[in-house]
Chains A and B, each alone.
Chain A
Amino acid sequence: MSSRNSALLMFVALALPAQMPEIPLDARTAFRVVVPADSPVTLVSGDWGASKATARGGALQVDVRGVLQLKNSGTRHVRGVTLFVLAQEVTPGGKASVTLPSLDVEPGESFPIRIDLRLMRPLAAVPGALVEVSLDGVLFDDLGFYGPNRLNSRRAMTAWELEARRDRKHFLAVLGQNGPEGLRREMVSTLARLTEQPRVEMQTARLGRVTNQPVGAEQQMEFAFLHLPEAPVDLVSGFVRVAGAEARMPRIEVRNRSTRTVRSVEVGWLLKDDQGKQYYAGEMPAEINLAAGDKMELVKDAVLRFSKPIAGLSAFVSNVEFADGSLWVPQRAAVLPVSPEEQRLADLYRRKGLDAVQTELRRLR
């Protein structure tokens, strides 16, 4: 082989990843949508036209760009839908979901759900669909629920719906008391809070049996609790092991101060970084069975890693689910995170103005 040919082959080998040869995708076999026959939400169409697969060295990258048109075939208004997304190659436990909360879909009306995802997997072919999308749950305006609820979407969508009703009620009260200018101030304040929320990098995983110590000195950091007087569950004490930007093995003791058995609780985390900035980091859900007046310790063998060192942690009860299926969410408070409905209304204000927000609030009264 001449030196020129050798150099050419090397150039081609190095340039292969950049060329990304496209592999044809058959949408009929690559994607599968499963909706039960008795579902109150039915599939009208599935458009995967913009999806493509490209070879990247020894791996296959699948860019899924799908839009599903669903129809409310039932008799009640749909308030939320959760789709379960399963990519068989990303196992074990590889699953995802896409949820649309704050909907108001009348019977007979159709609505779109966008599925945008990317799969990276070994190039070797695996039988079956690359991506399977199925219905996990539908929430109605009477808080009724339909679906297999494999992802516990009933609790999540009910909590978001209760928060949405709480926030719309608050904004309507502001509109009644302070007029459109008062509502404008609320929208501007919400947009500012959304902007202030830093886009932090984070990672989380289960620790399992891993006993390796994190890099750097580890210290035990106590939670500061936000006291919510009306909360049915009290946060008594809690701490987490912190090393730099990493928090692991949180332990929080809770007490049921209500008269009903609690089935699950979610504890929200507010994180303060080394520059004193506080932001909403996430929630710690726990399935429990806590009788009235009892105490127990919530323990997660999990690790949470941020891009900035952790200087402090606060916690609050973000929702409580009782044994009868009913849910409690806290009253509005400035320190609590912006709800999905508040985010939607603020975006509506930004794009279409105050009149559109007023119309929306009155429509969903």
Chain B
Amino acid sequence: MSLPHPTAQQLALYAGHDLNWFHLLRIRMHLGRCEQCRSRVDCQQAAMEGLQAGALDLPEGVDWPMLAAEMKANIHLGLEAGEIVDRVPRRRFDPTGESIAWRAALVCASLAVIIGSGWYLHRARDPYFLAQRPMAEATPEGIELKAKTSALTLLAPATERLTTAEIGEGLQTRYVDQDSGQVTIQHVFSE
């Protein structure tokens, strides 16, 4: 039993090494027995080699200087058109231009809103801030009297400092002044 002849397209693909392994094997077996098809493949391969050899040669009668001038003009035209088209989007989206400053400002403003909201909500939860009464507080620097927009801090050395509360009155801290050797007692009064 003989296999049917491959189609012209299959032979062309075979000549160009573009078939998968199954079809390649089947056609190769057929070519081993069919002189007619083998000659057609040879013609296909000769034509392909001819095309590849002449691909880099310019056609006869081509005016290269004129063609080059036309290509340059088209390139310049394309660049100018591109600039016009890009001008608006570049201002809006270019990450390396001015927009970076506005983006940073937008981020800072957003952060400020978030931090401000958190601060306000924290204050709102604190009944003493709600009352807007002065509050006495021990801080790393000393004892502080905080009011709505102001603060008074009595400064004292961090070491050797004893801080206690005057309940309902304020805070007291005492330390020994290292220059004079005297005990110094400071008070802040919240009322």
Contacts and interface: CB of A to CB of B under 8 A. Distances in A.
**Chains A and B belong together in one complex:** yes
Contacts of B153: 117-120
Size class of A's contact patch? 35 or more
Nearest to A271: B165
Interface in A281-309: 281-285, 300-304
B150 A199 contact: no
B162 A343 contact: yes
A202 interface: yes
Contacts of B172: 282
A87 B144 CA distance: 12
Interface residues of B, number: 64
A90 B134 contact: yes
B165 A304 contact: yes
Contacts of B128: 205, 207, 210, 303
Nearest to A283: B166
Given A96-B145, A117-B152, A151-B187, A205 B100 contact: no
Given A2-B98, A93-B189, A344-B182, A202 B165 contact: yes
A284 B167 contact: yes
A7 B125 CA distance: 38
B187 A119 contact: no
A119 B151 CA distance: 6
Which 7 pairs of residues, A with B, have the shortest CB-CB distance?
A282-B165, A6-B101, A212-B127, A302-B168, A3-B98, A282-B164, A300-B168
Interface of A: 1-3, 6-7, 10, 59, 85, 87, 89-103, 111-112, 114, 116-122, 151, 160, 194, 197, 199-212, 214-215, 250, 269, 280-285, 300-304, 337-338, 340-341, 343-344, 347-348, 351
29 contacts: A3-B98, A6-B102, A10-B108, A59-B149, A87-B152, A90-B145, A92-B134, A97-B186, A98-B184, A98-B186, A100-B182, A101-B183, A102-B183, A111-B180, A111-B182, A114-B180, A116-B155, A117-B154, A120-B150, A120-B152, A160-B185, A204-B167, A204-B170, A205-B133, A206-B168, A208-B133, A303-B128, A337-B164, A343-B162
